[in-house]
Amino acid sequence: MDFYEVVKKRRSYRAYKPDIPEKEKIERILEAARLAPTWANKQGVSLILVQKPEKVKAIWRAIDQDQKFSSAPTFIVGIISEEGSGTNKNGEKYYGVDFGICFEHLILAATAEGLASCWIGMFNEDEIKKILDIPKKYKIMGLTPLGYPLKSKSEVNDRIPIDKIVHYEKF
Ligand SMILES: Cc1cc2nc3c(=O)[nH]c(=O)nc-3n(C[C@H](O)[C@H](O)[C@H](O)COP(=O)(O)O)c2cc1C
């Protein structure tokens, strides 16, 4: 799939078929995340693939957003520690930026593989850390279900117009 087609096709899916995605597809998706750029090439993001049904169910319960994601066959959970990235000259930490780039590589690669996903930022972090044995120093910055969508969606179009976000030479 052409890059721009991938960008237009990517949508957030909240209902999934039970089929587990193919291993080769998952490997290519994880590889796309591995190749993401990071501050000083620190590569601080770790990804946890979760497919055991009892763990998948436990994660869905820890997300706790009504029935959303309850049919997802697989989750990928992304973590990073504050030391896993850098700090800019204003003292602002960049781990969130590194994480966002890496995880969006993953999400776009999933789309290119014909798989559905959804950035999830609202969940019970302590609960997921317990389920997956994640040490205290890491932050869970996001997770996504991975699978085939129950229903297909239209391409992205509900965005503000380009002239509202792009400015030339000055704001
Ligand atoms: C950082 C981030 C966190 C998000 N967290 C959630 C979430 O917890 N639950 C959810 O249903 N959608 C979540 N979303 C999905 C957004 O609601 C979705 O991307 C937005 O409505 C645009 O729709 P689209 O992704 O289909 O284009 C999140 C998206 C981002 C980028």
Which tens digit of pLDDT belongs to each residue from 54-96? 999 999 999 999 988 999 999 999 999 999 999 999 999 999 9
> Using an 8 Å Cβ cutoff, are 72 and 16 in contact?
yes
Average pLDDT for residues 160-168, to the nearest whole number? 97
Split at pLDDT 50, 70, 90, the class of 169 is very high
Selecting from 3.10.100.10, 1.10.3720.10, 3.40.630.10, 3.40.109.10, what CATH number does the domain 3-165 have? Answer: 3.40.109.10
Angstrom distance (rounded) from CA 148 to CA 122:
22
Tell me the average pLDDT of the chain: 97
89 CA from centroid of ligand 1 (Å): 30
Interval 126-158: pLDDT, tens: 999 999 999 999 999 999 999 999 999 999 999
Angle of the 53-63 helix axis to the 125-132 helix axis, nearest 10: 170
DSSP string, 28-69: HHHHHHHT---GGG----EEEEE--HHHHHHHHHHH-STTTT
Average pLDDT for residues 45-62, to the nearest whole number? 97
Does the pLDDT of residue 38 top 90, yes or no?
Answer: yes
Tell which atom from ligand 1 comes closest to the C-alpha of 153.
26
Q: What does the pLDDT read at residue 73?
A: 97
Question: 68 CB under 6 A from ligand 1?
Answer: yes
Encoding tokens for residue 22?
């193919």
Angstrom distance (rounded) from CA 82 to CA 139:
8
Domain boundaries, the chain: 3-165
Nearest CA to ligand 1 atom 17: 12
Average pLDDT for residues 119-125, to the nearest whole number? 97
Q: What does the pLDDT read at residue 22?
A: 98
Mutate to test the pocket of ligand 1, among 12, 71, 156 (most ligand atoms within 8 A of CB): 12
